[in-house]
Amino acid sequence: MNLALKIHEVAVAYGSKPAIIYEGKNYSYADIDKEVGRYAVVLKQLGIGVGDRVAFQLDKCMEFIFLHLANMSIGGVTLPLNSGYKTDEVEYFISDSGSSLFITDGERYRAHQPMLKKLGVKTVLINSESEVEVVTLSTLLEAAEAETKHRDFPSADDDVAIICYTSGTTGLSKGAMITHRNLIANMVDLKNIWQWTENDILLHILPLFHVHGLFVALHGSLNAGSTVIMHERFEPGRVWKTLAEENCTLMMGVPTIYQRLVNEWDKLPNKPDLSEMRVFISGSAPLSVNLFARFEDATGFRILERYGMTETGMNTSNSYYPAGRKPGSVGFPLPGVSLKIVDGKGREVVPGEVGEVLLKGDNIFKGYWQMPEKTMESFVDGWFRSGDLGYQDPYDGMRIYLAGRSKELIITGGYNVYPKEIETVLETHTAVKECAVMGLPDEDFGEKVTAVIVLKEGFEKADPVEIITFCKVRLAAYKCPKTIQFIDELPRNAMGKMQKNQLIEMFK
Ligand code: MCA
Ligand code: AMP
């Protein structure tokens, strides 16, 4: 089965029912299906065929959704890029993936133009910009109107539908190849365990370029025949108002979003009526026990926490029934997912002991794009090595708790940052001799990116603001250090290995 075909079938069944209300504009299932058909014709005319990668760097918009579904419907592979990526980052993704087409807007086109010309990648803009001489979607769509060609859904099952780049411990991002089978299996599991139906109204406030906002929230809703109320940006006050006024039943967010929502709640003179709301779901980063309790005390809702990864989609979830949700725990494996916890030698640990979480199931990705060795390293006997540490509670039905990570990863506001990538950029700064990047606890973002820097001889001091600006030119803003600390020497052990834990203790 092809995911776009599955959604097309839902669209045929639900016709005039509202599918997405984007910033107040209503798109029925039939409207979406029609647009997807037109976009498919355009993509075909642009030469896209089975297996071709199409990269998008767009703000949250309906065009993103039409392009993505259309691309999958003709066998293309979607490469969603974070809207905040800078030119060097985008260059790597387009060239590593060998994308045939790059779709963006005028502003980003102007920023990336020399790079795009250098790569020679075909580029299409979503909006018309008089001063930019690049073909626009609207022009192509006008011409496509008269065409009657149908989508033929040539890819399915183990064919790749989406490549999502995940940062790598070595600093180089890896393209996770996610198949139609992966997406559909996970989507069906979530529909069942969260009792998702056509009666649901989901408030969508997440970005569309990641697993959480795209696979879980958007695909999930369209598959269930529900209605999505979509906001372009997350604004806490507006969320509370919309949940009440639109009779929403479902919402998904990262812990930073729930933290901001509960802060906002305390300020509201009149609390919203959430009588239609079924469930608030959290993931992408650990939800603290405190935040769970604060949200429950304020709103009466026990947030449902689940655990996922780009490479695997969703793995575990707390119970649909509020009493079965335990703060600090990510619940139990989804019906289609097998999970085990192993020690450093790959042997299953005694229940209750901490080890690495290994995963198996139809949700597990196909491998890293053109990185067979990295793919091999990440599997052992058919089990995917998550790099997350966890344990199971034998006295509570083997309930799963995450207990840290074996991979060096910072999660800030639900976005992943690998320290190596930031260290590599910082080390190109003229004043920096060496540095260490780490996540320090932060109430808003969970962890905040912090850099500890040793200056080169001859540089007695440096301006932290200038160093942060240096990073912002080269890296998406969320990856850039929020704080810079200076130190004479980085702590190392007898083997010369840097002791980041000491630095974390020193500066937290
Ligand atoms: C924004 N900023 C951040 C972050 N977001 N800094 C660190 N971490 C962040 N997450 C910075 C911006 O660079 C900017 O800095 C300033 O904050 C304000 O930016 P703005 O765009 O206004 O931010 P915001 O609207 O307040 O965004 C906060 C947010 C957003 C809503 C929490 O980060 C967000 O939507 N996060 C969700 C990410 C997500 O969907 N993750 C799922 C990945 P300056 O002013 O200095 O430029 S999928 C995944 O992890 C797995 C599969 C899973 O299990 O789901
Ligand atoms: P990503 O690479 O963006 O897919 O991020 C996946 C990582 O996010 C996982 O390997 C976990 O470390 C983390 N993660 C996702 N959901 C949770 C959760 N509910 N609790 C703790 N960590 C989580």
List strands edge to edge, sheet with 446-455. 432-442, 446-455, 483-486
pTM of the entire predicted model: 0.96
Query: Is any atom of ligand 1 closer than 6 Å to the C-beta of 445?
Result: yes
Say which DSSP state 482 is in: S
Per the CB < 8 A criterion, the answer to whether 93 and 112 are in contact is: no
- What is the spatial distance between Cα 412 and Cα 479, in angstroms, rounded to a whole number? 8
Report pLDDT digits (tens) over 54-113. 999 999 999 999 999 999 999 999 999 999 999 999 999 999 999 999 999 999 999 999
Query: Is any atom of ligand 2 closer than 6 Å to the C-beta of 285?
Result: yes
pLDDT tens-digit profile, the chain (508 residues): 999 999 999 999 999 999 999 999 999 999 999 999 999 999 999 999 999 999 999 999 999 999 999 999 999 999 999 999 999 999 999 999 999 999 999 999 999 999 999 999 999 999 876 666 788 888 888 877 656 566 889 999 999 999 999 976 666 899 999 999 999 999 999 999 999 999 999 999 999 999 999 999 999 999 999 999 999 999 999 999 999 999 999 999 999 999 999 999 999 999 999 999 999 999 999 999 999 999 999 999 999 999 999 999 999 999 999 999 999 999 999 999 999 999 999 999 999 999 999 999 999 999 999 999 999 999 999 999 999 999 999 999 999 999 988 888 999 999 999 999 999 999 999 999 999 999 999 999 999 999 999 999 999 889 999 999 999 999 999 999 999 999 999 999 888 888 998 999 999 8
Ligand nearest to the CA of 286: 2
Query: Is any atom of ligand 1 closer than 6 Å to the C-beta of 231?
Result: no
- What is the spatial distance between Cα 215 and Cα 333, in angstroms, rounded to a whole number? 18
Give the distance (Å) from ligand 2 centre to CA of residue 431: 34
The stretches of 439-494 forming alpha helices (DSSP H) are: 464-474
- As given in the structure block, the two tokens for residue 207 are 């970005």
Query: Is any atom of ligand 2 closer than 6 Å to the C-beta of 446?
Result: no
Query: Is any atom of ligand 2 closer than 6 Å to the C-beta of 310?
Result: yes
Give the distance (Å) from ligand 1 centre to CA of residue 478: 6
Give the distance (Å) from ligand 2 centre to CA of residue 427: 28
CATH number of 410-507: 3.30.300.30
Q: What is the largest CA-CA distance in the chain?
A: 72
Give the distance (Å) from ligand 1 centre to CA of residue 367: 27
* Closest ligand 1 atom number to CA of residue 477: 13
**Could you tell me which residues come within 8 angstroms of residue 222 by beta carbon, excluding any fewer than 6 positions away?**
7, 10, 11, 19, 32, 228
Query: Is any atom of ligand 1 closer than 6 Å to the C-beta of 478?
Result: yes
Query: Is any atom of ligand 1 closer than 6 Å to the C-beta of 254?
Result: yes
Kindly list the domain boundaries of the chain, sorted by start residue: 28-155, 192-405, 410-507
Q: Domain 28-155: which topology?
A: Rossmann fold (3.40.50)
Per the CB < 8 A criterion, the answer to whether 374 and 380 are in contact is: no
Report pLDDT digits (tens) over 152-195. 899 999 999 999 999 766 668 999 999 999 999 999 999 999 99
Are both 28-155 and 410-507 of the same fold?
Answer: no
* Closest ligand 2 atom number to CA of residue 405: 12
Right CATH for 192-405 from 3.40.630.40, 3.40.30.10, 3.40.50.12780, 3.90.600.10? 3.40.50.12780
